[in-house]
């Protein structure tokens, strides 16, 4: 492309930016006709973000300042532009918007309705500012506690992640705002994030890292997916045809646009060819590369047409609401929701002698130690502009407490332990532990208050998992408040006073030590830098040697003690859960598991019922000790009130991926269905024998180029277990409970230990 023509085009498009109408409606019947009318240059402009053709601060018609990007309008054929804004913790623009809790905290609510509601409110604010697509939800797996963007992501578990993401997408799209789920895939570390080569087995990919994305695509049909900037088994995610075309589109049925991660650019032609349709935020270089690639035959115009048509399709979806008046909404309601979801996502970790809740009548004076001004959220894409900064002492004062001028006058101490988080950096190992000063503060406050028979509550204001085992018994209460958004202070006060009964449960395990996590030797534990001529481990490449053993799948299977298990959370009341009952239908492999929950305590509260399944082992195919396969949160139950929770399930949901046959397989054998309050607190179980195995062949994609010596349980254990499973497997009828087939995992030894023998 010659420079003069580019300059003319640029002038032309700047004009376009201010004149192309947003009230054009584009119906699907016209997509092909629009495409036919377009020149090569126009198609190249359409798939290159607007920043290529205008100064970064030029606004499109109807676009709000501070949006992350936009498509390029093509005035000649009256094709409008659409704009993208960041999230997912709220609408990120220059203007002021509601800052909701981080993704991790939303997941800890285990409440999909709540998450859908939050996304709807974000969509209302987006619509009011002319934003067409929200860049969220973020849904990568929290592989290691030190992952820099964990706070934006939901969980270490793919099922919980998939359900939360699907709810979020539904909330946005039902209000006419597109969702762009991100970052597809394997953005599990920030160190070297734009080139790091994640080396992962196909099984771990399918079961752990891609499962949530598969669920969200199948269940809620997002309009867009953002490719990640890292590589997967040697190929950039944004240039991987296997990932973006074979898997995402052909296998899962995705019919939207793949948008690049901002600034990702190795080979633009390879990206478009692979199915990465839109290059954001766009650059002159990208535009020229596309024209050059078509002219030289490296990219056919037919391929470019496919990308351009998909972008037209996205413009079409967005256009169907352009005429509507900006959506009316009440900011007060949004703020109230931010408060409610922060309270519902907090996890009460300790509460000795039922210390909490407390009243201002009984404990009039309180003191706050540590950071009184709370950290509302993480830095980067999910930072929202707000003037509402949560301050704990102010919130406690609003709830009726007096803030003691001198520590000695306080009846109760609140100690805040804070950890910020930011996009672009992983947490250093030191961030996992309390600092010397924090330790001293905690010990001093606990000692002096306890000497006077006064109580201490610790508030953890953190974006990620931290060490708790060595000090969690010091305070009287420990409340995990995550990065709670702008209403975090008031939400803490709601929990402290009992205005809201805590109902949050951990969406991730809290290990005793960071090094206990199976990925710890394959994760950047300190700042790493590139070295000339050398591939730096955990920076240039990362071997996912832990395979499927992420989070509780590792701790449970390998019998490793944790400080708090996945799914854990205390409340102010007590619940009883009956053993699960299983009803099998004779068609379509359908079944239902029913669990009855009763509030047996003396306060109203909501229970989270978690259903885990242990699948039988066949041959050398390992299975984790348990996997979350369903969950539900009850309504607020009054003391004595009961709710019956029903989980509809299909057998295929219990499949594991078999690499040898490239298929999802539901093995025949005995399945154990365990319900409970956490992965470690199973209150009841039932078993069912599946006579026939089910096999679903899929395409062999994303293979490793060389083995990575994945973590495995001891081989002899398998032989033993397979024998045991065969001998105990009899055909079972509904409601028959079997505890006899629970695996004896004492024989499991980590590969690392085995290697030393
Ligand atoms: C981030 C995304 C973000 C985008 C636009 C990218 O670099 O990884 O999360 O949505 O920039 O700001």
pLDDT digits (tens, 9 = 90+) for 650-672: 999 999 999 999 999 999 999 99
Mutation pick for ligand 1 pocket among 138, 261, 384 (CB with most ligand atoms within 8 Å): 261
By CB atoms closer than 10 A (0-12, 13-18, 19+), residue 653 is middle
Is the pLDDT reported for residue 323 higher than 60? Answer: no
pLDDT at 439: 98
Cα 590-593-594 angle, rounded to 5 deg: 140
pLDDT at 619: 86
pLDDT at 756: 31
- What does the alpha-carbon distance between residue 84 and residue 70 come to, in Å, rounded to a whole number? 6
Mean pLDDT score, 431-437: 98
Mean pLDDT score, 362-378: 98
- What does the alpha-carbon distance between residue 326 and residue 330 come to, in Å, rounded to a whole number? 13
Beta strands at 412-419 and 402-403: parallel, antiparallel or unpaired: unpaired
Protein residue with its CA nearest to atom 6 in ligand 1: 262
Is the pLDDT reported for residue 206 higher than 50? Answer: yes
Cα 48-53-54 angle, rounded to 5 deg: 130
- What does the alpha-carbon distance between residue 637 and residue 641 come to, in Å, rounded to a whole number? 5
Ligand 1: which atom is nearest the Cα of residue 92?
12
CA 346 to chain centroid, in Å, comes to 16
User: Which contiguous run of DSSP H or E holds residue 414?
Assistant: strand 412-419
Mutation pick for ligand 1 pocket among 86, 90, 265 (CB with most ligand atoms within 8 Å): 86
Structure tokens at 413: 């101490």
Contacts of 85 (CB under 8 A, 6+ apart): 64, 66, 67, 68, 91, 92, 93, 126, 129, 131, 133, 134, 135
Residue 389 burial (CB count, 10 A): 14
CA of 537 to the centre of ligand 1 (A): 25
CA of 181 to the centre of ligand 1 (A): 11
Structure tokens at 556: 């449970």
Residue 248 burial (CB count, 10 A): 25
CA of 140 to the centre of ligand 1 (A): 13
What pTM, to 2 d.p., does this model score? Answer: 0.93
Ligand 1: which atom is nearest the Cα of residue 187?
8
Protein residue with its CA nearest to atom 9 in ligand 1: 381
Mutation pick for ligand 1 pocket among 122, 282, 381, 383 (CB with most ligand atoms within 8 Å): 381
How does residue 686 score in pLDDT terms, banded at 50, 70 and 90?
very high
Mean pLDDT score, 225-254: 98
CA of 261 to the centre of ligand 1 (A): 6
CA of 279 to the centre of ligand 1 (A): 12
Which percentage of the chain shows pLDDT scores above 70?
90
pLDDT at 745: 32
- Tens digit of each residue's pLDDT (9 = 90 or more) over 718-747: 555 565 555 544 333 333 333 322 333 333
Mean pLDDT score, 249-261: 98
- What does the alpha-carbon distance between residue 207 and residue 185 come to, in Å, rounded to a whole number? 13
CA of 648 to the centre of ligand 1 (A): 36
- Greater model confidence, 330 or 510: 510
Side-chain-side CA neighbours of residue 45 (13 Å): 28
CA of 236 to the centre of ligand 1 (A): 16
CA of 52 to the centre of ligand 1 (A): 17
pLDDT at 725: 58
CA of 427 to the centre of ligand 1 (A): 19
Mutation pick for ligand 1 pocket among 49, 51, 68, 151 (CB with most ligand atoms within 8 Å): 68
Ligand 1: which atom is nearest the Cα of residue 136?
10
CA of 85 to the centre of ligand 1 (A): 9
CA of 530 to the centre of ligand 1 (A): 23
How does residue 326 score in pLDDT terms, banded at 50, 70 and 90?
low
Is the distance from CB of 493 to CB of 450 less than 8 angstroms? no
CA of 282 to the centre of ligand 1 (A): 13
Ligand 1: which atom is nearest the Cα of residue 69?
5
pLDDT at 61: 73
- Tens digit of each residue's pLDDT (9 = 90 or more) over 9-68: 443 443 334 345 677 889 999 999 999 999 999 999 999 999 999 876 677 776 789 999
Mutation pick for ligand 1 pocket among 56, 140, 226 (CB with most ligand atoms within 8 Å): 226
Protein residue with its CA nearest to atom 7 in ligand 1: 262
By CB atoms closer than 10 A (0-12, 13-18, 19+), residue 397 is middle
Tokens 């499109």 correspond to: 60
Q: What SS3 state is found at 420?
A: coil
CA of 407 to the centre of ligand 1 (A): 44
- What does the alpha-carbon distance between residue 502 and residue 492 come to, in Å, rounded to a whole number? 10
Query: Reduced to 3 DSSP states, what percent helix, strand and coil does the chain have, rounded to the nearest 5?
Result: 35, 20, 45
Protein residue with its CA nearest to atom 11 in ligand 1: 262
Within 6 Å (CB) of ligand 1, which residues are found? 68, 86, 135, 182-183, 261-262, 381
pLDDT at 90: 98
Mutation pick for ligand 1 pocket among 178, 182, 278, 281 (CB with most ligand atoms within 8 Å): 182
Nearest in space to 356 (alpha carbons), one of 343, 373, 369: 343
Ligand 1: which atom is nearest the Cα of residue 152?
9
How does residue 181 score in pLDDT terms, banded at 50, 70 and 90?
very high
Protein residue with its CA nearest to atom 4 in ligand 1: 262
Ligand 1: which atom is nearest the Cα of residue 180?
10
Ligand 1: which atom is nearest the Cα of residue 261?
6
Cis peptide before 185 (omega within 30 of 0): yes
CA of 296 to the centre of ligand 1 (A): 31
Average pLDDT, the chain: 91
- What does the alpha-carbon distance between residue 86 and residue 283 come to, in Å, rounded to a whole number? 19
């Amino acid at each position: 492309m010659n420079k003069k023509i580019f300059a003319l085009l640029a002038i032309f498009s700047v004009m376009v930016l201010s004149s192309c109408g947003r009230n054009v409606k584009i119906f699907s019947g016209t997509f092909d006709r629009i495409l036919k009318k377009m020149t090569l240059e126009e198609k190249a402009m359409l798939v290159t973000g607007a920043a290529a053709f205008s100064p970064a601060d030029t606004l499109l018609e109807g676009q709000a300042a501070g949006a992350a990007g936009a498509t390029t309008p093509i005035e000649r054929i009256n094709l409008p532009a659409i704009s993208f804004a960041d999230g997912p913790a709220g609408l990120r623009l220059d203007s002021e918007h509601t800052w909701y809790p981080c993704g991790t905290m939303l997941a800890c609510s285990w409440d999909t309705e709540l998450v859908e509601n939050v996304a709807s409110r974000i969509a209302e604010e987006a619509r009011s500012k002319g934003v067409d697509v929200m860049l969220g939800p973020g849904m990568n797996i929290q592989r290691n506690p030190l992952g820099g963007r964990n706070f934006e992501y939901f969980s270490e578990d793919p099922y919980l992640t998939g359900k939360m993401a699907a709810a979020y997408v539904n909330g946005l799209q039902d209000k006419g705002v597109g969702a762009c789920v991100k970052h597809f895939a394997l953005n599990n570390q920030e160190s070297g994030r734009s080139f790091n080569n994640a080396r992962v087995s196909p099984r771990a990919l399918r079961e752990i890292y891609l499962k949530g994305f598969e669920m969200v695509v199948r269940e809620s049909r997002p309009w867009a997916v953002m490719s990640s900037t890292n590589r997967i088994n040697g190929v950039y995610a944004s240039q991987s045809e296997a990932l973006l075309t074979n898997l995402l589109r052909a296998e899962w049925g995705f019919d939207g646009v793949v948008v690049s991660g901002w600034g990702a650019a190795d080979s633009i032609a390879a990206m478009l060819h692979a199915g990465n349709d839109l290059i954001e935020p766009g650059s002159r270089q990208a535009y020229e590369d596309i024209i050059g690639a078509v002219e030289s035959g490296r990219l056919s115009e037919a391929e470019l047409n496919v990308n351009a048509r998909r972008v037209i399709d996205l413009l079409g979806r967005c256009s169907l609401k352009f005429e509507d008046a900006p959506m009316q909404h009440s900011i007060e309601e949004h703020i109230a929701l931010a408060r409610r979801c922060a309270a519902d996502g907090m996890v009460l970790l300790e509460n000795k002698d039922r210390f909490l809740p407390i009243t201002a009548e009984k404990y009039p004076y309180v003191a706050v130690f540590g950071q009184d001004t709370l950290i509302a959220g993480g830095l980067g894409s999910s930072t929202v502009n707000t003037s509402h900064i949560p301050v704990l002492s102010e919130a406690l004062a609003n709830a009726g407490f007096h803030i003691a001028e001198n520590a000695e006058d306080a009846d109760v101490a609140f100690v805040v332990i804070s950890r910020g988080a930011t996009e672009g950096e992983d947490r250093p190992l030191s961030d996992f532990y309390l600092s010397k000063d924090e330790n001293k503060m905690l010990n001093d406050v606990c000692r002096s208050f306890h000497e006077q028979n006064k109580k201490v509550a610790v508030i953890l204001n953190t974006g990620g998992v931290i060490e708790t085992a060595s000090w969690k018994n010091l305070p009287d209460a420990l409340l995990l408040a995550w990065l709670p958004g702008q209403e975090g202070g008031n939400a803490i006060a709601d929990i402290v006073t009992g205005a809201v009964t805590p109902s949050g449960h951990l969406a991730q395990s809290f290990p005793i030590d960071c090094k206990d996590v199976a990925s710890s030797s394959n994760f950047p534990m300190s700042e790493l830098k590139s070295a000339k001529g050398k591939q730096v481990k955990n920076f240039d490449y990362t071997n996912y040697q832990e395979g499927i053993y992420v989070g509780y799948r590792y701790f449970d299977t390998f019998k490793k003690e944790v400080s708090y298990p996945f799914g854990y959370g205390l409340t102010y009341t007590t619940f009883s859960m009956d053993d699960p009952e299983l009803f099998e239908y004779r068609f379509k492999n359908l079944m239902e598991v029913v669990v009855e929950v009763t509030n047996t305590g003396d306060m109203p509260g909501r229970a989270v019922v978690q259903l885990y399944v242990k699948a039988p082992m066949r041959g050398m195919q390992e299975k984790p000790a348990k996997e979350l396969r369903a969950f539900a949160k009850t309504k607020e139950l009054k003391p004595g009130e009961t709710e019956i929770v029903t989980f509809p399930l299909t057998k295929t949901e219990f499949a594991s991926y078999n690499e040898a046959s490239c298929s999802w397989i539901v093995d025949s054998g005995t399945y154990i269905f365990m319900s409970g309050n956490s992965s470690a607190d199973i209150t009841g179980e039932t078993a069912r024998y599946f006579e026939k195995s089910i096999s679903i062949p899929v395409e062999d994609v994303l293979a490793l180029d060389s083995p990575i010596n994945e973590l495995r349980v001891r081989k002899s254990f398998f032989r033993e277990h397979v024998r045991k499973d065969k001998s105990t497997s009899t055909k079972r009828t509904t409601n028959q409970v079997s505890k006899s087939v629970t695996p004896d995992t004492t024989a499991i030894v980590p590969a690392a230990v085995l290697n030393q023998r």
